[in-house]
Structure 1
Amino acid sequence: MTVPLRAAIIGTGAIAHAHAEAIAALAPRVELAAVVDVDADRARTFAERFGAATVHSEVDALLAERPDLVHICTPPQTHVPLAVRALRAGIPVLVEKPTALSLAEMDELVAVSRETGVPALTVFQHRFGEAAQRLMRLRDEGVLGRPLVAVCETLWYRSADYFDLPWRGRWDVEGGGPTMGHGIHQFDLLLAVLGSWRRVSAVAARQALPTDTEDVSMALVEFDSGALASVTNSIVSPREVSRLRFDFEHATVEVEHLYGYADADWVFTPAPGHEDLAERWSAESSTADAAATSSHRSQLGAILDAFATGREPGVAADDARRTLEFAAATYASAFRGMPVRAGDITPGDPFYRSMDGGAVPWPAVKGATA
């Protein structure tokens, strides 16, 4: 009988429920061994609901249990410090987005992961849906032809009271607005499909919400492949939608969903003369799990598979860094009014130390900024 992997959760707030539900859905391959939270009552209630064996009030006590994987589900400013503690204890981590508040923090995490040889993983679950995996296989085979044009839209809505929590809408605690906390899932999948980006030209604004951060950003992106893309991140859009469209030489592949897609949310349109590709897409889609979504479960399942076979699980910190650099470049371009190339933001740049770069063109409304 296979011994289940022992998972632990740090922070039992809202997003932790998605992690615990993923762990429960993948039983008996994995079990929830322990939780910790600064709110003892919330931690106990959470543990009782999801069957955690032990509840702790201190992170060190949880790490002393030597779990096989620690899920970090705390507010963003604590992600890297907690991840580093776990890595130095020899325990792999799965960190909620955004992984870090800055490229400086991200590079610290990458360095500690390399030094210890312990995986530091980021939650980018949209990469692991069956349709996205199929798209990337077809891309790798070259049957779709060159990528030409892409559109990436996260058009969501958040009311003013969403920001009543003191850590929301602040550069120093949350790292940024929808570019960091909402659209990052969609443009991470965009980058996973299209590869290395070359240059970003962006704008950002605070249109309506009581935040220090932006509530909308828009970017035009050039990729090393020559592909061009537009990326919109908004939390002022009443009709909410998440949309990705990829135009290759031989097909258009697109998805429209909100917080997680199923296989049925994808549409495949072949270019004339390439109808065989649509037939293949349809045939492979017909064998997919119709109920499966691009969820924490899909990514955790892939991580468990990687652990079981000795492969490197995704999404590793050095890979996640590319996505975080894209966010930093979006802010730097928007606030400086000029294009930013990949690699431009180096340790001497203010945007390396914080996403606002000390250059936000509107006044703060929530207090301290980075």
Structure 2
Amino acid sequence: MAVDTAVIGAGEVSDSHLSALAGNPRTNLVGICDIDESRATAAAKKYDTDPYFDLDDLLESVDLDWIHVCTSVQTHLPLAEKAIRAGVPVLIEKPTTETVAELDELAALSEEHDVPVSPVHQHLFDPAMRTARKRIRSGEIGPVRGVDLVYTGHTRPDEANRGTWVFDLPGGEFEEGLPHPLYLTLGAGGYPRGEDDISAQTSLYGDYEGRFDYDSAQIQYATEEGALCSATMLAGGAQNRTIQIHGEDATLIVDMILQTVHRIEGDYKGSTVGKVKQSLKYAGGHLAGLAKNAKLVAHASYSDEWAPKTKIDPHKYQIDRTAYALQHDLSMPVPLSEARWTIRLMEELREAAERPAAIAMTD
């Protein structure tokens, strides 16, 4: 039976949810809600559903199985609370909440009312990331020893891609996008051993008209299993979004832009022939990965079937998997615990940005 679903928020990000819900055979899009009546009406017309301008009216008018919160982060908790108290499962866009305290309040409400809540961490479901995590789970590279993520070319703080509300965040638009590299690090390497095992450093490289605390960030932590995980995130510059996952037996290099995964193994530093073989293997794997992705894109573009589209669109994939979980009373594909650690890492970065610059020592 299809899951009757509505979306709160008719801004830019909601379109990814609306298109996924409208085309998914597991879901039935029954409404779009926004306090801006013109936006709600336009979105409802585009997706052939009903517009609502007040959440209370939506919850009273429709018997919902699922609701998507796609509004500014400052509104996530009160909107989700209304849905939870009405018994409606919630999918919340990132960042899930502004603070860990809010996240804990959300988790407590979810548990108290036995209503599942899950964050949107869609890039965990990119083709390359799905492949990498499957290979990690299979034991192909052995126990994970460390993760190194590089995420450059990130949005600058003073760009309002999601709306001017981002300027209320210490890192502006840059900070709004930080959950992506942070949850990718968590997804590849695991959660921190404890809150005291996290270290962070930030800097402000650019000049901006508005006041922002940082546009460059580094985070590092150790996991319970002893893996050392680090992430470097920079606003602007050339885009480089790669994840190196170092196992006991091999390393996976995940290119999140080209959506390729390459395996490095063995000790070839003393052999010229070994270096050449490794280079050829890398080039061959790279081309094979690109060919596979091109095939997936072509299949999704020319097929009327739903499944191929989920394989190339991570929003569609997560929404499809979450709808399936709701239909079959399964655990959410992304747990709130991952959202909590993501927000905790963000808080550590904010705290680092607030620390005064180190005073140079003189003789």
TMscore range, shorter length: 0.7 to 0.9
Q: How does 1:31-46 map to 2 (within 5 A)?
A: 31-46=28-43
Q: Which residue of 1 aligns with 2:324?
A: 305
Residues 257 and 145 of structure 1, relative CA distance in 2, 3 Å threshold:
closer
Partner of 2:229: 229
Aligned CA-pair RMSD = 3.0
Shift of 1:305: 2.0
Shift of 1:111: 0.3
| 1:98–1:181 contact (8 Å) kept in structure 2 | yes
- Percent sequence identity over matched residues? 27
User: CA shift at 1:233, angstroms?
Assistant: 2.0
1:72 aligns with 2:65: no
- Alignment of 1:219 with 2:219, yes or no, is yes
What letter is aligned with 1:316?
Answer: P
Instruction: Specify the alignment match of 1:146 in structure 2.
Output: 143
The answer (yes or no) to whether the contact 1:186–1:244 under 8 Å persists in 2 is no
- Tell me which amino acid in the other structure corresponds to 2:190: G
Question: How far off its partner does 1:99 sit?
Answer: 0.4
Task: Specify which of 262, 265, 282 is matched with residue 267 of structure 1.
Answer: 262
- Name structure 2 gaps, 5 residues minimum: 269-277, 298-310, 358-363
Q: Secondary structure at the match of 1:168?
A: helix
Cα deviation, 1:302-347, whole Å, max 9, x if unaligned, reads: 1122123321112232332122212223333x24xxxxxxxxxxxx
Q: How much does 1:160 deviate?
A: 6.8
User: In 2, are the aligned partners of 1:97 and 1:123 still within 8 Å (CA)?
Assistant: yes
Counterpart of 1:183 in structure 2 is 178
SS, match of residue 85 in structure 1: helix
Equivalent residues of 2:145, 2:247 under 8 A apart: yes
Deviations 1:74-130 (A, max 9, x none): 111001110111001000111000000001100000000000000111000122234
Q: 1:324 matched to which residue of 2?
A: 343
Contact 2:33 2:52 in 1 (8 A): yes
| Counterpart-to-counterpart distance in 2, 1:189 and 1:180 | 15
- The alpha-carbon deviation at position 41 of structure 1 amounts to 0.7
Rg larger in 1 or in 2?
A: 2
Q: Is the 8 A contact 1:176 1:213 kept in 2?
A: yes
Q: Aligned to 2:82, which of 81, 85, 92?
A: 85
Amino acid at match of 2:182: F
What is the correspondence of 1:234-313 to structure 2 with a 5 Å cutoff?
234-235=234-235, 237-258=236-257, 262=259, 265-271=260-266, 290-291=296-297, 292-293=311-312, 295-313=314-332
DSSP 3-state at the match of 2:199: strand
Shift of 1:196: 2.3
TM-score normalised by length of structure 1? 0.78
**What are the equivalent positions in structure 2 for 1:116-131 lying under 5 Å apart?**
116-131=113-128
In the alignment, the residues of structure 1 paired with residue 338 and residue 155 of structure 2 have an alpha-carbon distance, to the nearest angstrom, of 29
2:219–2:230 contact (8 Å) kept in structure 1: yes
> Shift of residue 230 of structure 1?
2.3
CA-to-partner distance for each residue in 1:156-195, whole Å, 9 max, x for gaps?
2435762494312323xxx754674213112212212211
Partner of 1:353: none
Residue in structure 2 matched with residue 137 of structure 1 by the alignment: 134
Contact kept, 8 Å, 2:157 with 2:173, in 1: the verdict is: no
How many angstroms does 1:206 deviate by? 2.5
Alignment partner of 2:4 out of 3, 6, 9: 6
Q: Deviations over 1:136-155 (max 9, x none)?
A: 33333433212223211221
Which of 9, 16, 21 is the aligned partner of 1:23? 21
Gaps in structure 1 of 5+ consecutive residues: 336-358, 363-370
Give TM-score scaled by structure 2 length: 0.79
Q: Distance in 1 between matches of 2:55 and 2:213?
A: 30
Asked whether the 8 Å contact 1:195–1:223 carries over to 2, the reply is yes
Shift of 1:6: 1.4
